Amino acid sequence: MAEYIVSARKYRPAHFNEMVGQEQVALTLKNAIRTGQLAHSFLFCGPRGVGKTTAARILAKTINCVNISADFEACDKCESCVSFQRNASFNIHELDAASNNSVEDIRNLVDQVRFPPQSGKYKIYIIDEVHMLSAGAFNAFLKTLEEPPSYCKFILATTEKHKILPTILSRCQIFDFRRIGIDTIVKHLKHICEAEKINAEEDALHIIAQKADGGMRDALSMFDRLASFSNNTLTYNSVLENLNVLDYDYFFKATDALLIENLSFVLQLLDEVLKKGFEGDDFVLGMCEHFRNLLFCKDDKTLALLEVSDSLKQKYATQTSLASTDFLVNCMNLGNQCDVQYKQSKNKRLTVELALIKMCYVNSVVSISADASKKKLPDTVKTEVAKPKTEVISEEQVKVLNEPAFNPNDKPENTNDKPKTDKPTTVNSQPATRNPQPVTLSKSKKVLTLDSINNNGSSNEQREITLTAEEITEGEILILNQENILQLWNEYASKISEEKKGLKISFSLYQPVLDEVNLNKVSLSVKSDIQKKQFDEVRMGVQHFFSKRTGVNLELEVLADKQVDSGAKPYTPKEKFERLIEKNPAIKKMQQQFGLELDYD
Classify residue 474 as exposed, middle or buried by CB count within 10 Å of its CB (0-12, 13-18, 19+).
Answer: middle
Domain that residue 225 falls in: 182-243
Residue 387 within a domain: no
Domain at 312, CATH number? 1.20.272.10
Do 189 and 160 have their domain in common? no
Q: Alpha helices, DSSP H only, in 279-401?
A: 280-296, 300-303, 310-320, 325-342, 348-360, 362-375, 379-386
CA atoms of 569 and 576, how far apart (whole Å): 9
CA proximity to 497, closest of 403, 398, 400, 592: 403
- Tally the domains of the chain: 3
Instruction: Decide: 527 and 561 in contact? Cβ < 8 Å.
Output: yes
For the chain (length 601 residues), average pLDDT per consecutive 10?
Answer: 80 90 91 90 92 92 89 88 87 88 89 84 90 89 87 92 90 92 91 90 89 89 88 85 84 91 92 89 91 89 80 86 90 92 90 92 69 52 39 40 41 44 40 40 34 37 35 60 86 82 80 82 82 84 84 84 50 73 80 76 58
- Name all contacts of 429-435 with Cβ < 8 Å and 24+ positions apart: 429/474, 429/477, 429/551, 430/477, 430/551, 431/477, 431/479, 431/551, 433/479, 434/477, 434/550, 434/551, 434/552, 435/551
Q: What pLDDT shows up at residue 423?
A: 40
Of 154, 176, 198, which residue constitutes the final position of a domain? 176
* Residue 408 lies inside a defined structural domain of this protein: no
> Around Cβ 493, how many Cβ atoms within 10 Å?
16
CA distances from 267 to 294, 332, 361, 517 (A): 22, 18, 14, 77
Kind plus residue range of the DSSP H or E element containing 167: helix 166-169
Q: Which residues contact 337 (CB under 8 A, 6 or more apart)?
A: 355
CATH number of the domain enclosing 104: 3.40.50.300
Single out the residue in 127, 143, 176 at which a domain terminates. 176
Q: How far is CA 200 from CA 186, 227, 310, in A?
A: 11, 9, 15
Residues 252 and 172 in one domain: no
pLDDT by residue (tens digit) across 524-547?
888 777 778 888 888 888 888 888
Helix/strand/coil for 158: strand
Does 235 share its domain with 263? Answer: no
CA distance 128 to 33: 22
20 phi and psi angles, rounded to 5 deg: -100, 120
pLDDT score at 569: 53
Looking at the fold, whether 232 and 273 belong to one and the same domain comes out as no
Q: Tell me the C-alpha distance between 243 and 387, whole Å.
A: 61
SS (H, E, C) 222-268: HHHHHHHHCCCEECHHHHHHHHCCCCHHHHHHHHHHHHCCCHHHHHH
Residues 275 and 354 both lie in one domain: yes
170 phi and psi angles, rounded to 5 deg: -70, -15
Q: What dihedral do alpha carbons 503, 509, 515, 520 form, nearest 10°?
A: 20
Between CA 232 and CA 242, with CA 238 as vertex, the angle to 5 degrees is 105
Specify the amino acid at residue 330.
Answer: N
pLDDT by residue (tens digit) across 300-345? 888 878 877 778 888 888 898 888 888 999 999 999 999 999 988 9
> What is the DSSP secondary structure assignment for residue 16, as one 8-state letter?
G
Task: Answer whether residue 544 is part of any domain.
Answer: no
What is the residue type of 583? K
Task: Examine residue 274 and state whether it is found in any structural domain, yes or no.
Answer: yes
Distance separating alpha carbons of residues 293 and 291, to the nearest angstrom: 5
The CATH number given to whatever domain includes residue 209 is 1.10.8.60
Q: What are phi and psi of 40, to 5 degrees?
A: -80, -15
Cβ neighbours for 492, distance < 8 A, ≥ 6 positions apart: 405, 507, 541, 542, 545
Cβ contact 99:137 at 8 Å: no
Residue 154 and residue 141 in one domain = yes
Ordered alpha helix ranges (H), 92-134: 103-113
How confident is the model at residue 338, as a pLDDT? 92
Same domain, yes or no: 162 and 300: no
Question: Which domain-ending residue is among 368, 399, 416?
Answer: 368
In a domain, 560, yes or no: no
Whether residue 90 is found in the same domain as residue 216: no
Of the candidates 104, 157, 98, 158, the residue with the CA atom closest to the CA atom of residue 133: 98
Using CA of residue 396, residue 397, residue 401, residue 403, what is the dihedral sign?
positive
The answer to whether 55 and 30 have CB atoms below 8 angstroms apart is: no
At residue 352, φ and ψ (nearest 5 deg) are -70, -45
Is residue 593 domain-resident?
Answer: no
Would you say residue 139 lies in a domain? yes
Question: Are both 234 and 325 inside the same structural domain?
Answer: no
Strands 521-526 and 513-514: antiparallel
Q: Is residue 471 part of a domain?
A: no
pLDDT for residue 591: 80
**Which residues contact residue 198 at a Cβ distance below 8 angstroms, ignoring those fewer than 6 apart?**
192, 227, 232, 233, 234
Residues 229 and 336 in one domain: no
* pLDDT value for 210: 87
| E strand or H helix at 219 | helix 216-229
Residue 493: strand pairing partners: none
Whether residue 71 sits in one domain with residue 28:
yes
User: CA–CA separation, 240 vs 236, rounded Å?
Assistant: 6
> Are 280 and 203 members of one domain?
no
d(CA 26, CA 32): 10
- Distances, alpha carbon 218 to alpha carbons 49, 236, 244, 341, 350, in Å: 7, 18, 15, 31, 35
Beta bridge partners of 173: 42
